[in-house]
Amino acid sequence: MSDLSQLFVATAVVAGLLTLISLWTPRRLAVKGTALATGVLLLPLSYASLVDLLSRPKPIDMEWWQDHAKEATVLGSKMQEGQGIYLWLQLPDVAEPRGYVLPWNRQTAEQLQQAQREAEQQDGGEVHMRMPFEPSLEEREPMFYAQPQPAPPPKDVTNPPPEYFHPPGQDA
């Protein structure tokens, strides 16, 4: 079951309980009918709102389940001056990427652009984000950085170098 289904089932259970409580109270039939109609209307409205939220980036400070992540890979970004920095992040141990929005900050936007330039110079390098969900305002190392290039594989010194082919009739 997806996260959306679990949230909707929880909402439906709570709406059902509230409707049952309002039906059991000693009220007039019109009040009980209104309570039942309200509970029934709550279900499609809550489902529609959850589905609508799926397409919108989540504010970075609203992430509660993954707030322990130490770093994330930036798959894409879009900056809108004065509005926000929109990020498409791949979190460790999460199968699908997720969309987030950071509040607009010129220094953060410049850090992201610099990290993207460095990653491009590395021919396909990745941009990473340190502590993506930490709300701290203290000055520290940059939030965005280009993933360093991996070290080349070690040379195999146990095997001798290959013999070079010499065409017949030529001395080596």
* Side chain identity, residue 101: V
Mean pLDDT across 65-85: 90
Percentage of the chain modeled with pLDDT above 70 = 83
DSSP letters for 73-99: EEEEEEEETTTEEEEEEE-TT-SS-EE
Q: What is the pLDDT of residue 78?
A: 95
Question: Helix, strand or coil for residue 72?
Answer: strand
- What's the whole-model pTM score? 0.66
Domain-wise residue ranges, the chain: 3-54, 58-146
Identify the band that residue 82 occupies on the pLDDT scale cut at 50, 70 and 90: very high
The CA-based dihedral angle spanning residues 111, 112, 115, 120, taken in that order and rounded to the nearest 10 degrees: -150
Q: What is the distance between the alpha carbons of residues 35 and 29, in angstroms, rounded to a whole number?
A: 10
Query: CA of 110: how far to CAs of 35, 79, 140, 142, in Å?
Result: 53, 10, 15, 10
Question: For 91-124, what is each residue's pLDDT tens digit?
Answer: 988 888 999 999 999 999 999 999 999 988 887 7
Question: For 136-162, what is each residue's pLDDT tens digit?
Answer: 655 566 788 887 766 677 776 676 666
Q: What is the pLDDT of residue 109?
A: 93
Identify the band that residue 165 occupies on the pLDDT scale cut at 50, 70 and 90: low
- Evaluate if residue 20 carries a pLDDT over 80: yes
Q: What is the distance between the alpha carbons of residues 116 and 73, in angstroms, rounded to a whole number?
A: 12
Residue 28, token pair as written in the block: 């007039």
